[in-house]
C-alpha cells in the first residue's frame, strides 16, 4: 500500500505528517514493515533521519529511504523496489508548482493521496491551479482513482469547530475529492519536536517532568493518531 502526502505549496506540514504517521501507534501496530520515503531533493527528512541514527533511536518496523532523482524511471524503479520489501510506503512529496513530476507520480501510483490544506483563498487557489488539474487528468484516464484524493484541513485553530471546518471543505471541493473527517490543528510543538532526530511520541516522553508541556504534547500525539486512523479507516480503540 502506498500513501502520499502531497501539496504543491511548501510549508503545509507534509513532512511532519509523513514522519509521525509512520511512527503513530495506529499505523505501526497494524503494518509489519513501513517505509518512510522522501522524494524531496532537499532532503529535510534525510537530515532528520541521520540525526536519528546518530542518536541511536529505535525505529522498530520503520525504515527510511531517500530518492533524490528527478527522472521518472528512476523514481518508479526505486518505489517498486521499496514496495517489494515493505507492507506500507508513506511518501513525502516536495512542494512544486511548475513541472510537478513528483506530484504527478504520487497521484498516479498511490492508493491514497492526502492533501494538507488550510481554509484560505490562497490555498484554494493553489489547489485549483496546480493540483486539481493533475487529479482531473488522472481520473479521466483512470476513473477508479476517484475517492483516492483526500483533503486534510490543516493548521486549524485548536479551538475551531471541527465540523464547521470539514463542512467548509465539503462545500468547496469537487465531488470526486473527499475531505477527511479530522483536522490537523496548529500547535507550536510541531515546530520543535524533531530535535535530535526525535519523533513526536519520543519528544512527548522527554517532557514528562514538565506537566504542562507534556499535556500539550499529548494533544499533538492524539492529533496524529486521529489523522492516521482516518487515513487508513481504522477504528480507534
pLDDT in tens, 60-109: 999 999 998 888 899 999 999 999 999 999 999 988 755 688 999 999 99
- Looking at residue 97, what is its pLDDT? 58
Whole-prediction pTM: 0.93
Instruction: Summarize pLDDT for 185-200 with one digit per residue, the tens.
Output: 999 999 889 989 999 9
Question: What band does 234 get if pLDDT is binned at 50, 70 and 90?
Answer: low
Chain-wide mean pLDDT for the chain? 91
Domains of the chain in start order, with CATH, are 2-231 (3.40.50.300)
Instruction: Summarize pLDDT for 158-180 with one digit per residue, the tens.
Output: 788 889 999 999 998 998 999 99
Please, are residues 95 and 8 in contact by the beta-carbon 8 Å criterion?
yes
Say how far apart CA 152 and CA 230 lie, in whole Å.
10
Burial of 131 (0-12, 13-18, 19+ CB in 10 A): buried
Say how far apart CA 208 and CA 203 lie, in whole Å.
9
- Looking at residue 237, what is its pLDDT? 39
Q: Which residues contact 84 (CB under 8 A, 6 or more apart)?
A: none
Say how far apart CA 129 and CA 47 lie, in whole Å.
31
C-alpha cell at 191: 515546530
Say how far apart CA 38 and CA 18 lie, in whole Å.
9
Instruction: Summarize pLDDT for 198-218 with one digit per residue, the tens.
Output: 999 999 999 999 999 999 999
- Looking at residue 236, what is its pLDDT? 44
Say how far apart CA 215 and CA 101 lie, in whole Å.
41
C-alpha cell at 45: 527528512
Q: Is the pLDDT of residue 52 over 70?
A: yes
Question: What band does 26 get if pLDDT is binned at 50, 70 and 90?
Answer: very high
Amino acid at each position: 500500500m502506498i500513501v502520499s502526502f502531497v501539496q504543491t505549496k511548501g510549508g503545509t506540514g507534509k513532512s511532519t505528517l509523513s514522519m509521525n504517521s509512520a511512527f503513530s501507534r495506529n499505523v505501526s501496530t497494524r503494518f509489519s514493515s513501513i517505509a518512510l520515503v522522501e522524494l524531496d531533493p532537499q532532503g529535510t527528512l534525510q537530515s532528520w533521519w541521520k540525526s536519528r541514527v546518530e542518536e541511536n533511536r529505535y525505529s522498530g518496523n520503520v525504515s527510511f529511504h531517500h530518492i533524490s532523482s528527478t527522472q521518472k524511471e528512476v523514481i518508479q524503479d526505486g518505489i517498486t523496489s521499496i514496495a517489494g520489501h515493505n507492507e506500507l510506503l508513506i511518501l513525502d512529496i516536495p512542494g512544486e508548482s511548475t513541472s510537478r513530476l513528483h506530484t504527478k507520480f504520487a497521484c498516479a501510483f498511490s492508493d491514497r493521496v492526502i492533501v494538507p490544506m488550510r481554509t484560505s483563498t490562497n490555498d484554494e487557489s493553489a489547489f485549483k491551479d496546480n493540483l486539481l488539474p493533475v487529479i482531473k487528468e488522472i481520473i479521466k484516464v483512470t476513473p477508479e482513482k476517484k475517492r483516492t484524493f483526500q483533503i486534510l484541513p490543516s493548521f486549524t485553530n485548536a479551538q475551531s469547530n471541527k465540523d464547521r471546518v470539514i463542512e467548509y471543505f465539503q462545500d468547496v471541493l469537487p465531488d470526486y475529492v473527499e475531505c477527511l473527517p479530522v483536522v490537523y490543528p496548529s500547535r507550536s510543538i510541531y515546530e520543535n519536536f524533531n530535535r535530535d532526530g526525535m519523533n513526536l511520541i519520543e519528544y512527548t516522553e522527554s517532557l514528562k517532568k514538565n506537566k504542562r508541556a507534556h499535556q500539550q504534547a499529548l494533544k499533538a500525539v492524539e492529533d496524529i493518531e486521529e489523522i492516521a486512523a482516518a487515513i487508513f479507516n481504522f477504528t480507534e480503540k
